Structure 1
Amino acid sequence: MEDGKRKPRRDALENHARLITAARDVLGKGGPGASLEAVARQAGLGVGTLYRHFPHREALFHAVYRADLEQVVAGAEALEAHDDPLEGLRAWLHANVAVVETKRGLLGALSVALTEDARASYADLSQRLRLAVDRLLNQGAARGKLRADVRADDLIETMYAFCYAHPPGPDWRQQVLRRLDIFVDGLRAQPSGR
């Protein structure tokens, strides 16, 4: 290889992915105090393997958060292929609510580990997310389907506001989705006389 680095082995990549999947679940339920041994156990791997991939707890938190954020960004970037921009946004927002629901505990863990430098490391993903959502909003407005005065930040901030305005409980998801649907319906372009 030109840069002197070897490509990671397939089993190492698989172990990395298994650890992130397990950590998403364990940290999502247990928050910042969740056991890293439980993460390794759920992944079917030893603790030594976990520490080879993630030398400290915060590294694991960041890896899970980055993987989730990349999933959200990929979903936003795929929106352009949707026939109906309004329904594309609705589906994307609903998928994001599911992500928030599973990572409530992880967000507590991240609040401990999220320094300014760490926040800056997510700037590229945040920018990609805003650009993708703005592209869809602009396309929808150009086609007369969506309001022209809505930006990505409006959408993202409203989604998170709805997610955190209602306390966790058995009807949390239903309430958040119902409110988001009302909001999304309000994004529809209005006839010019209104």
Structure 2
Amino acid sequence: MSPDEGKTLRADAARNRSRLLDAATLAFAERGADVSLDDIAKAAGLGIGTLYRHFPTREDLVLAVYGAQIDALDQRSRELAASDDPGEALREWMRGFVDFYAVKQGMVTLLRTMMNGSRAGQFEQTRATMRAAAERVLAPAAGAGVIRQDVAAPELIRALGGICLTSDPKSTPPSSTLALVDLVYDGLRFGAPVTASSG
């Protein structure tokens, strides 16, 4: 095999993996973790054998989707941390958390089993990444005085997670969930130095 052929195969494999992750993300959000792997492969336009080559078990696929969502929130926090409007950047990241949780909620039963089983250690890094992402958007907003100073990243994550857990995606319009997120954001602004001085 020539070097060019090897690069092509690697590129094809990367594209297939990405297609499988996209299809699985949508399927888990809409139908939960019990959706068949065959349906996910078909939605990606690939064969079940290709899916198993990338993700030998359902748990491997769930963990990959979960990790990709965490990575997306982390990357978004890095982009927003450089914003000229740290308050609005924080609000945008909080609203993006809803999309992450819609996927997580579809997988929550299996994720809980995995967190308490042999794969528990694999979740420590994702938790740390999530805390760092939240802190990355909280700190500039607090530093600019647009939110209160006494809120830590774990508290923000719990608040957002609580909203999402009580919002059934099948019966709760996304606009309603986002409205609750905005209420939490307004709570962060209450008593903030800039708000207090301007009031």
TM-score normalised by structure 2 residue count: 0.83
What is the CA deviation profile of residues 49-79 of structure 1, one whole-angstrom value per residue up to 9, with x for unaligned ones?
1111111111111111111111111112222
Q: Secondary structure at the match of 1:185?
A: helix
Matches for 1:80-99 after TM superposition, within 5 Å: 80-99=81-100
| 1:174-185 correspondence to structure 2 within 5 Å | 174-185=175-186
- The structural deviation recorded for 1:170 is 4.2
Q: 1:102-113 residue pairs with structure 2 within 5 A?
A: 102-113=103-114
Residue 146 (structure 1) shift: 1.8
- Whether contact under 8 Å (2:115, 2:123) holds in the other structure is no
Aligned-partner Cα distance in 2 for 1:96–1:58: 22
Task: Note if 1:155 corresponds to 2:156.
Answer: yes
Number of residue-to-residue matches in the alignment: 189
Q: Does 1:51 align with 2:52?
A: yes
Higher relative contact order (CA 8 A, sep 6+): 1
Does the CA contact (< 8 Å) of 1:76 and 1:129 recur in 2? no
Match of 1:130 in 2: 131
Assess if the C-alpha contact under 8 Å between 2:70 and 2:129 holds in 1: no
**Structure 2 matches for 1:7-26, cutoff 5 A?**
9-26=10-27
| Distance in 2 (alpha carbons) for counterparts of 1:28 and 1:109 | 13
Distance 1:168 1:21 in 2: 19
Q: 1:167 to 1:19 in 2, by over 3 A?
A: closer
> How big is the shift at 1:192?
5.7
CA contact (8 A) 1:86 1:187 kept: no
- Residue 40 of structure 1 aligns with which residue? 41
C-alpha distance 129-167 of structure 1, shift in aligned 2 (>3 A): closer
Structure 2: unaligned runs, 5 residues or longer: 1-5
CA shift digits 1:122-146 (9 cap, x unpaired): 3223223322332432332222222
What's the CA shift for 1:116? 4.6
Counting only pairs closer than 5 Å after superposition, residues 141-152 of structure 1 correspond to structure 2 as 141-152=142-153
**Alpha-carbon shift at residue 93 of structure 1 (Å):** 1.2
For the 8 Å contact 2:95–2:178, the answer to whether it is kept is yes
Q: Give the Cα separation in 2 of the matches to 1:31 and 1:136.
A: 30
Given that residues 105 and 165 in structure 2 are in contact (C-alpha distance below 8 angstroms), is that contact kept between their aligned partners in structure 1? no
Q: In 2, distance between residues paired with 1:142 and 1:96?
A: 22
Using the TM superposition, give the Cα deviation of residue 182 of structure 1 relative to its aligned residue in structure 2, in angstroms.
Answer: 1.5
Counterpart residue identity of residue 191, structure 1: A
Question: How large is the RMSD of aligned CA atoms in angstroms?
Answer: 2.4
Superposition TM-score, scaled by structure 1 size? 0.85
Pair 1:112–1:60, CA change in 2 (3 A): same
| Aligned-residue identity in percent | 35
Structure 1 position 81, deviation (Å)? 1.3
CA distances 1:139-193 after superposition (whole Å, capped 9, x unpaired): 3222222211111112111011111123444444222211211110121214269
Question: Distance between the aligned counterparts of 2:168 and 2:41, measured in 1?
Answer: 31
Question: What one-letter code is carried by the residue in structure 1 that aligns with 2:29?
Answer: G
Q: Distance in 1 between matches of 2:77 and 2:185?
A: 15
Can you give the 5+ residue segments of structure 1 that lack an aligned partner in the other structure? 1-5
- Deviation of 1:42 (Å): 0.8
Q: Return the offset for 1:105.
A: 1.9
